Amino acid sequence: MVDVRDRLQSFAVRWLEEHRGLVIVLFCLPASFLFDLAVRLLKTVERILWFHASHSDRVRSIQKEVRNWNALPKSERKLMCISKPNWMSLSTTFFPKDRCHRINVNFGNILELDENNLTLRTEPNVSIGEITDYLLRRGYMLAVCLEIKDATAGGLAFAVGMTTHSHKAGLYQETVVCFEVVLADGSLITVTKDNEHSDLFYCLPWSHGTLGFLVAVTLKIIKVKQYVRVNYIPVHSQEEYCKMLMDLSGANETGVETPDFLEATIYSKTDAVIMKGDFADVDSVQKWRKVNRASRWYKPWFYKHTEQFLHAAGEEYIPLKDYLFRHNRAIFWVLESMIPFGNHPFVRLLFGWLCPPKPAFLKFTTTQLVRQMTFKKQVFQDIVMPLATLKDQVDKATKLFDTFPLLVYPCRIYNHERGPQGQLRPPPSELLVPGTNYAIYNDLGIYGTPGPVRRKEKYNATYAMREMEKFTRDVGGYSFLYADVFMTENEFNEMFDMTLYNQMRKRYGGEGAFPNLFEKIKPEVDVIALGQED
């Protein structure tokens, strides 16, 4: 009996694997659409219900909940975490929330736009899509505005964010002016770079909710123009694209003019398209002819569009919102491994408007089996490393994963000149741009199905991932923690500087109240054991 069931199950899994694209288009996309509609409806209802409550009322209710937790006998206190369900978060891991005491930080309102100081104060559970709509109407955008609409202001503040403007603005955390945090004892504090809690200021990013609850955050915004002029530059040698990115991002020289936006998509070890973008107005017929509404549903997936410029350089004017969310519809190039025929013009025309399937929906329907499959047969990583090591990064990633395209966003990493500065160490002095307090690093994005898996050869995900992580530690880089880490706790503590974080855990009562960072972010699956299986 069990045998028959096993065989049926494995047949079903094989069938689903082989016809996954079809299943996704015919079932998942429409279901994801309805699902999204339902979630939005819920959110609206929630907003109406909370309508009469002011922000400070809502904060007080959180403080009360936390104080109630403190009043429990010690033996009954489970560690605290936010109640946001796992499937709502963009992180790929499934933290076992049922083992925690869940606090609802369900704050979804934009609070205050300050046009003099160029800042936006917002509650944490507002999505980047919502914030961008709000700001663009008024002529602004977030200084670091993520490409994925579903990311939230609070999630990014307590994790990390990086975009094609980060070679100017740095990581998302550099754009935070003020955190408003409810601590383990229920007190509310504001945390800025130079108030009495400045030590905490540097540890809240990359803390994943293990130091307190975020109830509001103030972010830097910038003035915008309606369009981005994008220049697509094809490059056909590794040395050349590495050098060009160093030059364009100002990694090597003080005072060079850098473009407003900078990105490279690497299509093979030697071939890449570098995109430099600048804010622009479209005020002539010539320019108007070059307008590309790149994010319309029937348009080619952006990285496919970009690929054409491998053969000849080009210039386009992309409306700002289309530019900001250019990678949203194909989730960079993740959608291709789900719907291999999805970029066919006919499919785009009919189903393009249903894309992308909501990450929330994909996660909601992720079973243990699918999760194990994604571990063993896919790679999904963003890694921050010094741009000067780009050649080695690409060589290593090619050797281990052999999947293209690769994504490169240059980014400033600052030395705040204050001793330990949170989980990220100050960059080594030899990497600093002369005369400044920052070095240029880059995000290397590796998403897709590894070459050996595609060719049905042997592939050991645990080996490949752990090698990549070792390389990352060796060059002084950091893995984004929304993706699965394969490190042991010791290796993790080597990659990140936990000195100040551990002090902050003690000083602000985080110990015994919240899980520690490694516990919070480690995959729910024993990935090292997974490597022993065949």
Ligand X SMILES: Cc1cc2nc3c(=O)[nH]c(=O)nc-3n(C[C@H](O)[C@H](O)[C@H](O)COP(=O)(O)OP(=O)(O)OC[C@H]3O[C@@H](n4cnc5c(N)ncnc54)[C@H](O)[C@@H]3O)c2cc1C
- Asked if 46 is part of the footprint of ligand NAG (rule: CB under 6 A), the reply reads yes
Among 4, 52, 116, 289, binds ligand NAG (CB under 6 A): 116
Distance of alpha carbon 60 from alpha carbon 380, whole angstroms: 39
- Asked if 109 is part of the footprint of ligand NAG (rule: CB under 6 A), the reply reads no
Among 21, 108, 129, 154, binds ligand X (CB under 6 A): 154
Q: How far is the CB of 8 from ligand NAG (least distance, A)?
A: 27
- Asked if 505 is part of the footprint of ligand X (rule: CB under 6 A), the reply reads no
Residue 462 binding: pick among ligand X, ligand NAG, none (C-beta 5-8 Å cut-off by kind): ligand NAG
Q: What is the Cα 175 distance to its own chain's centre?
A: 15
Q: Where are the beta strands (DSSP E) in 185-338?
A: 188-191, 213-223, 227-235, 261-266, 272-280, 314-319
- Asked if 75 is part of the footprint of ligand NAG (rule: CB under 6 A), the reply reads no
Q: How far is the CB of 482 from ligand X (least distance, A)?
A: 3
- Asked if 84 is part of the footprint of ligand NAG (rule: CB under 6 A), the reply reads yes
Residue 483's Cβ-side half-sphere holds a number of Cα atoms within 13 Å equal to 22
Residue 403's Cβ-side half-sphere holds a number of Cα atoms within 13 Å equal to 26
Question: Quick one: which of 351, 313, 312 has its CA closest to 330?
Answer: 351
Q: How far is the CB of 383 from ligand X (least distance, A)?
A: 11
- Asked if 106 is part of the footprint of ligand NAG (rule: CB under 6 A), the reply reads yes
Would you say the C-alpha torsion 80, 84, 87, 92 has a positive or negative sign? negative
Q: What is the Cα 76 distance to its own chain's centre?
A: 35
183 φ/ψ angles, rounded to the nearest 5 degrees: -85, 175
Long-range Cβ contacts of 520-523 (<8 Å, 24+ apart): 520/81, 520/95, 520/208, 520/209, 520/210, 521/91, 521/93, 521/95, 521/208, 521/481, 521/485, 522/93, 522/485, 523/93, 523/375, 523/484, 523/485, 523/486
| Residue 410 host element (H or E) | strand 406-414
Among 20, 243, 305, 454, binds ligand NAG (CB under 6 A): 243
- Asked if 331 is part of the footprint of ligand X (rule: CB under 6 A), the reply reads yes
Tokens standing for 182?
């409810």
Q: How far is the CB of 35 from ligand NAG (least distance, A)?
A: 12
Give 109 or 462: the residue with its C-beta nearer to ligand NAG: 462
Residues forming a β-bridge with 101 = 80
- Asked if 417 is part of the footprint of ligand NAG (rule: CB under 6 A), the reply reads no
57 φ/ψ angles, rounded to the nearest 5 degrees: -60, -45
Give 85 or 340: the residue with its C-beta nearer to ligand NAG: 85
- Asked if 155 is part of the footprint of ligand X (rule: CB under 6 A), the reply reads yes
Query: Tokens 């040395």 belong to which residue?
Result: 239
Q: How far is the CB of 318 from ligand X (least distance, A)?
A: 17
- Asked if 148 is part of the footprint of ligand X (rule: CB under 6 A), the reply reads yes
| Residue 178 host element (H or E) | strand 176-182
- Asked if 121 is part of the footprint of ligand X (rule: CB under 6 A), the reply reads no
Residue 58 binding: pick among ligand X, ligand NAG, none (C-beta 5-8 Å cut-off by kind): none
- Asked if 359 is part of the footprint of ligand X (rule: CB under 6 A), the reply reads yes
- Asked if 104 is part of the footprint of ligand NAG (rule: CB under 6 A), the reply reads yes
Question: Using CB under 6 A as the criterion, which residues of the chain lie in contact with ligand X when the complex forms?
Answer: 82, 84, 89-91, 105, 124, 146-148, 151-152, 154-156, 158-162, 208-209, 213-214, 331, 359, 382, 480, 482, 520
Question: Using CB under 6 A as the criterion, which residues of the chain lie in contact with ligand NAG when the complex forms?
Answer: 42-43, 46, 82-84, 88, 104-106, 108, 116-117, 125, 243, 246, 252, 460, 462-463, 466, 531-532, 534
